[in-house]
Every structure is written in C-alpha cells, then in structure tokens.
Structure 1
Amino acid sequence: MTSIPKTMKGVRFHSTGDSSVLRLETDIPVPAPGETEVLVDLDYAGVNFIDTYQRGGLYPIKLPATSGREGAGHIVQIGDKVPSSYDLHVGDAVAVFAQGTMAQYVAAPATSAMKLPASVSTRIGAAVMLQGLTAWTMVKDAHRVEKGQCILVQAAAGGTGGLLVQMCKHLGAAVIGTVSTTQKAELARRHGCDYVILYKDQSVQDEVTRLTEGKGCHAVLSGIGKSTFAADLACTRRRGTLVSYGNSSGAITDLKILDLAKKNVKLVRPTLVNYITEREEFVERTSELLDLIAKGAVRVELGGEYGLDTLAAAQDDLTGQKTTGKLIVKL
C-alpha cells in the first residue's frame, strides 16, 4: 500500500476576490476520508468557471476553501461504510466530482467517484467530470436533444460548448455555434457545428432568424449569462427551451417572467449536482459519458495544462476568453 503523507500541496483562498487571493500552500493536512468517502491521490484536476464564481463570492463557500471541483487519480483509502456495490477498490483509477481537487489529495464522496475504463486516462477523466457531465445532463435532462432539432450553442469553441456541439451532433441535431474569432470558428466546425456565427461581427439573433427561416432554435444552450440572455431568449423558438447554465458574463438580473409567454418558452437554470444526487443517477450519466469518450463519439479538446503554481493564470486565461478547449492542472 502506498504511504500517505501527513501534509500536501494545494491552492486555497482565505477571502474572496480576484485571482490574487489564491495561495499555493505546502503544509495542508491530507484529509482523512469519512466513512462514506474515498481518499484519492490526484494526477490531474480540471479548471472551471465555478472555481472563479466561488473565489469571487458569487457562489458562497466556507472559507478557507481549497479550489477545484473535479479531478482524477487513484484511490489510496476507502471509508468503512462505502457500499461494496460501488465496486471501488484501493488502486483503482477514478474520476471524482468533489470540492477541493486543486491539491495532491482529495477526500471525495464515494457517491461521486467513478472507476475509469482502461481506455480513458486520468488526464482525460479529470477534464470531464464537471464540464462533461454538465454538458451530457443538459442534452439528456435539461432539454432532451433529438434527431431533426436545431440547437444553438453559445461559446461553441469552449470546453463545455465544444462538448455540447459534439453531443448534439451525436444525438442527430443540427447545430449553430457562436464564437469570437475566426480561429475559434475553425475549432467549432471541427467539433461539428453546421453553422458558425462570429458574434463580434454578426448579430446572433439576425443570423439565427435567417438560418431557421424565422422559427428559431428548438433549444438554446448558453453559459454566458447576463450579456446574451435577451438574444438567447429571442433565438428560442415557440415552445422551445432556453437552458441557461452559467454566468461567464455575470449573473442574469433582469428576467421578466412574462417574456417567456411570448413564445411559451421553457426556461431551465440547471445545476449538475441536482441531476446526479443519487448514486444511480451519477453512475448512469457518467457511464454513458465515459462510453462516448471511449468510443470516440466525443473528443475532449485540451486547451492548456498548468501547474498548481500557475492556477491563478489558468483562471485568468479562462475568464479572459484567451483559451479554447478544456484547461487542466497537473498535480
């Protein structure tokens, strides 16, 4: 059995603010797993917008807090009351959806730990537990994407956006994607976008109206938030669904509920955890996602690899729209 140290490296924040509040610490106690937890020696962790929301105070969290919400590595210890039916064992390569993954070890709820198939590395596993599951639950649960539908994906070259495009195409939909640059447009097309809109040069609403002959999209999948909400709603067709899953431009504050009545639009503001609360739900959606990746139906585009000492730069690159694909941290 691998020896477990008493302390570890990790990135914590003791107050909220910009990326300068992040501190690399070398003497954080290695957590002891609770009765229903597994202790994971992490290889990689994924960088996500939720990390910046927590750090900035938009999403409250108890301080001090260790950053990170997803990661992958190997189990080194298992709580006494982890059910045998979970099929988790010391030495297993797993991906976890848990708080505090920007550290060398994390004590993760066993309910949110998934054994990785041999064909999926911990590097890729760490990149999909939050963005990948978020994307897959959006196209399966928030709005069931079906063959023949037309879907608008905002930020189609980003980590979540790129996965959404591929998943929608896998499910048989036509996809319109929005991007900021011609370079990102090429990436969005590689993901599978049928049409790409350069939103800095073109009106998204006008282009969607033209491409759909005035009908709009069956669903709009947007993680942008405040700056695109009006256009997102306008691009959703009668009886369609607007899935608003993020706040990269700020939280939506000017919603008027009667605006939904103009076209009987369904507005969904999902959070991943409420789709995978039960172990059975988590296993079902995670197994489906890992199978898509293993088969090559969904490709995970890695946009950059950082270290714990450059996590602040990674978060700034993400929020500054300087990246494409998924950002990861090697631990």
Structure 2
Amino acid sequence: MAQRIQFSQHGGPEVLQLVEFDPAPPAAQQVRVRNHAVGVNFIDTYFRSGLYAPPSLPSGAGTEGAGVVEAVGEGVSRLKVGDRVAYATGPLGAYADVHTLPEANLVKLPDSISFEQAAAVMLKGLTVQYLLKQTYAVQPGDVILFHAAAGGVGSLACQWASALGAKVIGTVSSAEKAERAKSLGAWATIDYSRENVVERVLDLTDGKKVPVVYDGVGADTWLTSLDCLQPRGLMVSFGNASGAVSGVNLGILSQKGSLYVTRPTLATHANNAQNTQAMADDLFAVIASGKVKVDIQQRYPLSEAAKAQTELSARRTVGSTILLP
C-alpha cells in the first residue's frame, strides 16, 4: 500500500485528504515513479478550488515531482527501472509516495541535480524557460517587468533573465521581498503595497515603459500591466494567483498602444518527450552553471499538504515549497 493526497470535492485546503491506495501496475507506455520529493505550485490550488476542473472526482493532487523509476509498462523504451527522473506536466497525482504517468512526461535527471532541487524547480523552471526563451526571447539590454519577483517563478526568472543580460523590474509586496528579489538579480523593485507601479516603471525607463510584462498574478494586475507596456508591447499573462482575467474588451489593446496579449501554458510548450527533455536540459544546464540557484524555503511532510497550500495561497512563502513523502 502507498499513500497519496486526494480531494473528493472542490473547496479550500481543508478538502485535501491523506488516503491509502494500492498502486496498479503501469499500463503500456506508462512508468511508475517512487517519489523522493514533490513540488507545490499555485496551479495545484486551481484544480483543488475548481478554477481548473480535474478529469474526475475524487482526484489526486499535484503535477510535479522527482524520484526513481520503480516499474515500467509495455512499450517503454527511453527509461528503465532505477533511472533518476523528474516531471512537471502531470497527470494529477504527484502528491503521493508513488505516481504513475506516461513515459513521454518524464525527463532524465542528471546526477548534478538533486531530487529536492528537481521537485522544486521543474514546473517553475520549465515555465521560466518558455517565458524567457520562447514566448518573448529576452535579449541583452532588455528592460522587462516581472510580477511577484520574490515568488517561486519570479525567483528563478530574476536570476535567469539577469544571466541573459536583461534588466528585471520586479514587483513585490514588502521591503523584505524587495531585498530578496534584488539579491537574485533584479535590477529594480517596486513595492506595490506602497508604490504606484505604472509611475515607477515610467520613472525607471525614462518614460519608455517596457517591451514585455510577465504577469502570473492575474486579475489584480491586468490593467496595471497593460499600462506599463510600450506601444506594440507584449502582455504575457501566465497565471491567476489573484483570480482569472475575465470580461476583457479587446478594444483596450488598441487604446493602450496596439498591444499584444498571450496566455501561454507549459503544456503547449512541453508537448512531447523531445521538447520537454530539451527544455529540461536547458534548465539543468543553467542550474549546473551556478547562474540560477534553486532556493527551497519550505519543506513539509506529505501529510501536511493542506498547510503547504494554505501558506502558498496566503503569499507567506518565498522561493520554492516541496513535500517529502
């Protein structure tokens, strides 16, 4: 028998339950992984709350983890029992001792990256990879705006964008988080709890604004983000930490400067084994180089998954959070 976290109805963290289950043998093209560490991310709360609907209820939780291949199904050719692996794109059920998923969703984990590092960085790191390298190819000298710069994604983005030669303006909610973002490579920070973001962006860019805004906050920052963009700038809305952006009149994009908007997801970038491994290799290389450091600030036992999600949703966390089965 093994243990996992599941929920039978949508709601707050209190709907998460620790249950025992008997893992089934992996089917064709599937791999069963013995998790050594599991990542905790905002997207996990979206499935739990019902913002994103799981395939069915009751449902497992979590999409990210790292461990060792324990069993393989028929037709598995890339991986074998004993391989170190990591994953980020689901299916749901990572909050568990063991997780079975398609071989195509797994990447090989080099010895230079620990299980805890991989579980803490896969989803956020692959997200940063496609944001900075594919959605908008950041160039040396670019001045970019990144919301929640001290959070899990932001912490990695500040480091990686800085390594690419960009100047990151990061929004934060406190002086402590501003100090953290700067220590991770942010060129400047804006404390939105006491500063006007648009005015500060204008001041920092000598009135030019920025060519791209990376916004994982959602509803609360939508209009502010648009007002920080140069004409024909790109608004990258990649998350909903404050709620989903809805009821948008596309005319606002013309009014604010013929702006572009995209709502990218990791699933459409890491959409096959080759792409996912290539993105992961890029991520692992920048970590191995020392240019990006994985900062795990919160560790919880699997049984305290509800507490981990509560702290994350309340924005009382910095860096990455993991569960230890």
- TM-score norm. by structure 1 comes to 0.95
Match of 2:169 among 161, 173, 176: 176
Match of 2:261 in 1: 267
Match of 1:295 in 2: 289
Match of 1:306 among 279, 300, 319: 300
SS of residue paired to 1:219 = strand
Match of 2:186 in 1: 193
Residues 248-271 of structure 1: per-residue CA shift (max 9 Å, x gap):
101111322111123122111011
- TM-score norm. by structure 2 comes to 0.97
Match of 1:202 among 187, 195, 204: 195
Aligned-CA RMSD value: 1.0
Stretches of structure 1 that go unaligned for 5 or more consecutive residues are: 1-6
| Cα distance in 1, alignment partners of residues 209 and 24 from structure 2 | 50
| Cα distance in 2, alignment partners of residues 288 and 167 from structure 1 | 11
Residues 3-37 of structure 1: per-residue CA shift (max 9 Å, x gap):
xxxx2111100000011100011x21213212111
| Cα distance in 1, alignment partners of residues 22 and 135 from structure 2 | 39
Match of 2:85 in 1: 94
8 Å CA contact 1:215, 1:238 repeated in 2:
no
Residues 157-203 of structure 1: per-residue CA shift (max 9 Å, x gap):
00001111111111111110011111111110111001011110100
| Cα distance in 1, alignment partners of residues 161 and 205 from structure 2 | 17
Whether 1:108 and 2:101 are equivalent positions in the alignment is: yes
Whether 1:213 and 2:206 are equivalent positions in the alignment is: yes
Match of 1:30 in 2: 23
| Cα distance in 2, alignment partners of residues 294 and 64 from structure 1 | 39
8 Å CA contact 1:31, 1:106 repeated in 2:
no
SS of residue paired to 1:209 = helix
Match of 1:18 in 2: 12
What percentage of residue pairs aligned between the two structures are identical? 38
Residues 75-125 of structure 1: per-residue CA shift (max 9 Å, x gap):
011122123xx3x22111111122211000001211111111111000101
Structure 1 residues 245 and 186: alpha-carbon distance in aligned structure 2, compared to 1, 3 A threshold: same
Given residue 3 of structure 2, which amino acid in structure 1 is its aligned partner?
K
Match of 1:254 in 2: 247
Match of 2:276 among 271, 282, 296: 282
Match of 1:316 in 2: 310
Given residue 287 of structure 1, which amino acid in structure 2 is its aligned partner?
D
Match of 1:4 in 2: none
| Cα distance in 1, alignment partners of residues 212 and 102 from structure 2 | 33
| Cα distance in 2, alignment partners of residues 136 and 37 from structure 1 | 26
| Cα distance in 1, alignment partners of residues 156 and 258 from structure 2 | 28
Residues 111-167 of structure 1: per-residue CA shift (max 9 Å, x gap):
111111111000101112211111111111111111111110100000001111111
Given residue 111 of structure 2, which amino acid in structure 1 is its aligned partner?
A
Structure 1 residues 48 and 31: alpha-carbon distance in aligned structure 2, compared to 1, 3 A threshold: farther
SS of residue paired to 1:243 = strand
| Cα distance in 2, alignment partners of residues 329 and 245 from structure 1 | 24
| Cα distance in 2, alignment partners of residues 169 and 254 from structure 1 | 35
| Cα distance in 1, alignment partners of residues 27 and 286 from structure 2 | 32
Match of 1:136 in 2: 129
